[in-house]
Amino acid sequence: MNELHRVATDVATVKLLIDGEFVESATSEWREVVDPATGAVLARVPFATAGEVEAAVAAAQRAFATWRRTPIGARARIFLKYQQLIRAHMGELAAILTAEQGKTLADAEGDVFRGLEVVEHAAAIGNLQLGEYAHNVAGGVDTYTLLQPLGVCAGITPFNFPAMIPLWMFPMAIATGNTFVLKPSEQDPMVTMRLVELALEAGIPKGVLNVVHGGADVVNAICDHPDIRAVSFVGSTRVGTHVYRRASTAGKRVQCMMGAKNHAVVLPDASKAQTLDALAGAAFGAAGQRCMAASTAVLVGEARAWIPELVEKARALKVGAGGEPGTDVGPVISCAARERIEGLIASGVEQGARLELDGRHPAVPGYESGHFVGPTVFSGVKPGMRIYDEEIFGPVLVILEADTLDAAIALVNANPNGNGTAVFTQSGAAARRFQEEIDVGQVGINVPIPVPVPLFSFTGSRASKLGDLGPYGKQVVTFYTQTKTVTARWFDEASAGHGVNTTISLR
């Protein structure tokens, strides 16, 4: 791959992308990219210098002058080609992702595929970036709107979906006529860079897409830069709040998708087998490292008796390296993440929750240096416990109980987060009541992770989201464009009048 350069130590260095060229950073600050299953160092990623960030933005600014005038059909055809390249390289992309992030190959392919769906949507930009037209709003006067690109936009992406989230961002921004500066997660940037390489192969011109790597200094430089018009962020609530405040203070459009505590409400009439399977997959898939994980189950009434079966379902899952056949739960991203998860599990025990299944220190033969946490289940959990109040971001399911649907709805609505929720029931009346009264942005009915397809937009709410517009779908076209309204009137020589007329009569 062109973005990787072998050095004397035989460890790859991840390059920057500036003005169409993959370049070696001049920085003195580097971070190791580590295989979370083995602890092996896969690559070194640079923390870009201030000058390198400036060069990336300047390249994007120069490219915008011509890219914004590129016909919409030409832009669409690039993304038609891009989606073909992603499909052709799906296995390679999934293998890279698994090696650096730890997901199972099946989860890794799902990561890439959900991003691919947005690329396919970007290829339909000709139908998405349409304005409005009103004929003869006054005598001989027409009014119409143009959806025009903003300029240089930027994206800051997290470690947990290193393929999907970048593909949520730069394809739609570029398809709408903007140029882009991307900052991938410094923990697992390699699959992102491979996707970037394929994007250039698909025909994205030099300077239209640029990539810088780094930590807080690079994030702050993006937020502060006067030539960046919009910033999209997905990640933790702490960093997202900082990004939102800093970038919006600098006058930018900002969208921040942040942390969550997603509740799955289970009514007694739910299909037991299907519901238990759904809960296990949604809580422990991707090692629980997703903002839409169903990390909290609320068992209503007689459904409380299902706890032993749910625990056995979790116990049967295989913990192992993501690339090993049959693995259900791979490692978490880092040693620090594992220690934080283990600390939260210990706090649950100390605060009186019942540890039904302890996933700490699982035996994974041949991977003793990996960052593994097995499926963990708590019951008897109550608000005020750290394992409920904090996002664990690991394979830990906490179970609360409620006597009625109304009590469950009140519990969910009392939580400050509003990313996603689900109800499991066979009652249409109960489901409709839930969807009407729940104060959460994304609702699943017998669907545990209700992330919408790109025809719609990701619509998390409350403390899980800052900014009015979400990523991908129709909302992101609004986010990445500005509306210009034109009111036009044309005269011929015979109809020319005399005198001063500064208004248009609407009669």
Q: What is the pLDDT of residue 7?
A: 38
Catalytic residue among 153, 256, 291, 335: 291
CA of residue 361 relative to chain centroid, distance: 29
Q: What is the pLDDT of residue 11?
A: 86
> At 498, is the pLDDT very low, low, confident or very high (cuts 50, 70, 90)?
low
**Per-residue pLDDT tens for 373-432?**
999 999 999 999 999 999 999 999 999 999 999 999 999 999 999 999 999 999 999 999
CB neighbours of 348 closer than 8 A, spacing ≥ 6?
355, 378, 381, 385, 386, 387, 398
**Per-residue pLDDT tens for 347-370?**
999 999 999 999 999 999 999 999
94: nearest Cα among 121, 115, 75, 64: 115
Residue 291 falls in the annotated catalytic set:
yes
Task: State the burial class of residue 193 (Cβ atoms within 10 Å of its Cβ: 0-12, 13-18, 19+).
Answer: buried
**Per-residue pLDDT tens for 224-251?**
999 999 999 999 999 999 999 999 999 9
Element (H, E) at 98: helix 90-101
Answer yes or no: is pLDDT of 163 > 50: yes
User: In sequence order, what DSSP letters do the residues of 18-76 get, joined into one string?
Assistant: ETTEEE----S-EEEEE-TTT--EEEEEE---HHHHHHHHHHHHHHHHHHTTS-HHHHH
Buried-state track 266-283, b at ≥16 Cβ within 10 A, e below 16: bbbebeeeebbebbbbbb
> At 5, is the pLDDT very low, low, confident or very high (cuts 50, 70, 90)?
very low
Tell me the mean pLDDT in the region 69-83. 98
**Per-residue pLDDT tens for 182-212?**
999 999 999 999 999 999 999 999 999 999 9
Q: What is the pLDDT of residue 277?
A: 97
Q: What is the pLDDT of residue 500?
A: 58
User: In sequence order, what DSSP letters do the residues of 232-291 get, joined into one string?
Assistant: EEES-HHHHHHHHHHHHHTT-EEEEE-----EEEE-TTS-HHHHHHHHHHHHHGGGG-ST
Q: Are 407 and 341 in contact (CB under 8 A)?
A: no
Answer yes or no: is pLDDT of 88 > 50: yes
**Per-residue pLDDT tens for 431-482?**
999 999 999 999 999 999 999 999 999 999 999 999 999 999 999 999 999 9
The proportion of the chain whose per-residue pLDDT surpasses 70, expressed as a percent, equals 95
Answer yes or no: is pLDDT of 171 > 60: yes
Residue with tokens 């009625």: 404
DSSP assignment, residue 501? -
